[in-house]
Amino acid sequence: MGAVETGNEPVRLTAWVSGRVQGVGFRWWTRCRALEFGLVGSAENLPDGRVEVIAEGRRNHCEQLLATLRSGASPGSVDQVVEHWSAARGGLTGFDEK
Distance CA 34, CA 37 (A): 5
Q: Does the pLDDT of residue 48 top 70, yes or no? A: yes
Taking only the tens place, the pLDDT of each residue in 38-47 is 999 999 999 9
Taking only the tens place, the pLDDT of each residue in 55-74 is 999 999 999 999 999 999 99
Residues marked active site are found at 27, 45
- What's the whole-number mean pLDDT along residues 17-21? 98
Under the banding of pLDDT at 50, 70 and 90, the label for residue 8 is confident
